[in-house]
Chain A
């Protein structure tokens, strides 16, 4: 199994541009989530999904959209990038939809917004 994969690994955007961060898992996990990690702030939950077709907001959802059309994929969309969205983004998944089990993390996407 490839586990949780994220693309791209690194991206530079200009303010106002849009882009999609890709996340995929091949473990048939129900639960998927997106976090951002900033220095001194730990990981903050952006959005999560408990199964295909179901998404919900986390702690810091503003400026981001998600969808879950398949079990495998959970893309994160930045609608109009802002410098405050410069961060490292991690996707994670777990077996069931409760979020209480072991989370498997992807390698992260480093995003720089100029």
Chain B
């Protein structure tokens, strides 16, 4: 199973509305990262939040982290058509005795004009 699991799998909203995506994980983390992927492209890093941080902002992006619930959320405010993309969270997972960076299945966000 995925270490980071995004919810919902798909989200469709109107331009100008806010979009919220969630990520849950199973084990303790040092940090959690959010990435965006436009169709047919590679992933682009958005925000990294460390385990001792509760909230972080970057432009219209707001990320929260609740280590007690092992969850994080990504909020995009005042959405634009260009925000249409898939969003992934990434955390470290122990595989065969070593910590490795793994990604969830992503949330596909569609912004309708």
Which A residues are within 8 Å of any B CB, using their own CB?
4, 33, 35, 40-45, 48, 56-59, 90, 92, 98-108
Main secondary structure of the interface of B (DSSP, over half): strand
Cα distance A44–B41 in the bound complex, in angstroms: 16
User: Complex: how many Å from CA A44 to CA B93?
Assistant: 12
Determine if A100 and B30 form an interchain contact, defined as CB atoms under 8 angstroms apart: yes
Distance between Cα atoms of A45 and B103 in the complex (Å):
8
For residue B40, give the distance in angstroms from its CB to the closest CB of chain A: 8
13 further A-B pairs in the complex, CB-CB below 8 A; given A90-B42, A103-B101:
A43-B88, A43-B103, A44-B102, A45-B102, A57-B95, A59-B102, A100-B99, A100-B101, A103-B35, A103-B45, A104-B45, A105-B35, A105-B43
CB distance from B39 to the nearest CB of A (A): 11
Task: Please report the C-alpha to C-alpha distance between residue A38 and residue B45 in the assembled complex, in whole angstroms.
Answer: 20
Q: Are A42 and B105 in contact (CB under 8 A)?
A: yes
Out of B43, B95, B100, name the residue touching A90 (CB < 8 Å).
B43
Jot down 15 A-B pairs with beta carbons below 8 A, ordered by A.
Answer: A41-B105, A42-B2, A43-B88, A45-B95, A45-B101, A56-B96, A56-B98, A58-B95, A58-B100, A59-B102, A99-B92, A99-B99, A100-B99, A105-B42, A108-B40
- Checking B31, B88, B101 against A42 with a beta-carbon cut-off of 8 angstroms, the contacting residue is B88
Nearest CB to that of A107 among chain B residues? B42
Interfacial chain A residues near B48, Cβ < 8 Å: 101-102
